[in-house]
Amino acid sequence: MLRITTLIENSPGEHHGLATEHGISFCVEKDGHMILFDTGQSGAFLSNAPKLNISLGAVEHVVLSHGHYDHSGGFRSLCSAARGFSLVTGEGFFSPKYALRNGAYDYLGSDFDEAFLSEKGIHHVTLSGPGKEILPGVFVLSSFPRVHSEEKVNPRFVLRKDSVFVPDSFDDEILLAVETGEGLAVLLGCSHPGMRNMLDAVKERLRRPILAVLGGTHLVEAKGSGLEKSLEYIQNSGILFIGMSHCTGKDVMDRLEAVCPGFFRNVTGSSLFFG
């Protein structure tokens, strides 16, 4: 049995008692195991969980898609609510991340470091290879080949290294793929390395069809032929459940809803169930 619940997202759903914010957090419950994928930008997801009949004290693994605040900002709060879990991040997760805005730099990174993990006694796994199976049928993938040239990282995203700013290629970004029996359910954070690049890597490495995709695609910044190719890719993918949201952008979600029968508005409180 598999249940994937969106603990927090940009948009509200039917349950008006749930907090929303610009960020994302998923709870994955599979065969008696619990995994968190991202923790939103604050601890608000923690108050949503019991309202959704989810006890986060049972979480075994926390997977953070990349080092931006809207995906890792709730981690400190989680550490006060749960114990005994392991943390999985990509290589370079703790590199200071910024966005360039009219000559100024806005810090977008996480509010904790490796010293915090050591202080809390949290087991930390840095994923540097193509992938790792963290539980039976639960895979974390990284190191995505940049095959689709149209999928470019916005140059406003930068890292601070050795007192200088360099382009952020988001080599730290990872995804979660979960076996459903009928195919894979794939969870995306923001897809900065490129949604098509990431989904192609899933199919090539795991050799299973993709049944569902949830999360952010960063198509909100895509334009022209690159956007059209991404929309065509999704439309022709054969994916039955398409819950792309967060940084996908309203206009793109409206277009996906119009052309993809499997598209649904993945919002705070949404759950998918697989046998």
Q: Per-residue pLDDT for the chain (275 aa), expressed as one digit of tens each? A: 999 999 999 999 999 999 999 999 999 999 999 999 999 999 999 999 999 999 999 999 999 999 999 999 999 999 999 999 999 999 999 999 999 999 999 999 999 999 999 999 999 999 988 999 999 999 999 999 999 999 999 999 999 999 999 999 999 999 999 999 999 999 999 999 999 999 999 999 999 999 999 999 999 999 898 999 999 999 999 999 999 999 999 999 999 999 999 999 999 999 999 98
- How many domains, the chain? 1
Residue whose entry in the numeric block shows the structure tokens 């290879």: 129
What pLDDT shows up at residue 96? 97
Query: How many angstroms from the chain centroid is the CA of residue 209?
Result: 19
What pLDDT shows up at residue 275? 82
Q: Where are the beta strands (DSSP E) in 38-169?
A: 61-63, 86-90, 97-101, 104-107, 123-127, 131-135, 138-141, 157-161, 164-167
> In Å, what is the CA distance from 238 to each residue of 4, 47, 154, 228, 263?
20, 36, 28, 17, 11
The CATH number linked to 65 is: 3.60.15.10
Q: How far is residue 27's CA from residue 165's CA, in Å, rounded to a whole number?
A: 35
C-alpha closest to that of 7 among 76, 111, 78, 69: 78
What pLDDT shows up at residue 259? 92
Structural domain range at position 60: 2-272
